[in-house]
Amino acid sequence: MSLEKRKPEMRIGYGWDSHEFRPGIPLKIGGMLLPHDKGLGGHSDGDVLLHAITDALLGAIAGPDIGALFPPSDPQWKNADSAVFLREALQRVKAAGYDVVNLDSTLILASPKIGPHADAIRKRVGELCGIPSDCVGVKAKTPEGMGTDNAAIANVAVLLKRAD
């Protein structure tokens, strides 16, 4: 058996994000525009799910987090498409020698209902991450007893496997 130190065969990553609802702006979750009277505020497009996926990917390779790579203080990320952040994380995963296997997410928000849009979100996130939509979990809960009805929260776990 070789004593050569090999990279782990698999790596797990976890990401979390939250954004506040604001009236009069579009709602983007998982790269999809969803019909609603409020959107998620933030310096970029406020896509809470893509931000949590980006952080999960970066965490899996022990990289810098989304805020370090794309500081909110930098005007070039104002209203940015969050797919740009995700793409950078995916490039870093590839450069580290890993492929994405699957990811699972839980959204926590009072409204709108995610169920009717879950398949579309899984398909879009799968396209963005280069994995089949049946490797993308999208679950949603309402924030019972949490007092966060004006926020959307995303939790994401991602699994990577060594590319070689």
Binding site for Mg ion (CB under 5 A): 17, 51
Spatial contact of 143 and 149, defined as CB atoms under 8 Å apart: yes
Q: Which residues contact 141 (CB under 8 A, 6 or more apart)?
A: 106, 107, 108
Decide whether 133 or 143 has the Cβ nearer to Mg ion: 143
Report the SS3 class of residue 62. Answer: coil
Q: How far is the CB of 31 from Mg ion (least distance, A)?
A: 14
Taking the complex as a whole, how short is the minimal distance between the CB of residue 44 and Mg ion, in angstroms? 7
- Which residue from 60, 59, 80 is spatially nearest to 70, judged by alpha carbons? 80
Nearer to Mg ion, 44 or 60 (CB): 44
**Which amino acid type is present at position 113?**
K
| CB-nearest residue to Mg ion | 51
In terms of CB distance, is 87 or 162 closer to Mg ion? 87
Backbone angles phi, psi at 69, to 5 degrees: -80, -35
**Environment class of 108 (CB within 10 Å of its CB; exposed 0-12, middle 13-18, buried 19+):** buried
Shortest distance, CB of residue 17 to Mg ion, whole angstroms?
Answer: 4
Closest approach of Cβ 41 to Mg ion, in Å? 10
Choose between 51 and 117: whose C-beta lies nearer to Mg ion.
51
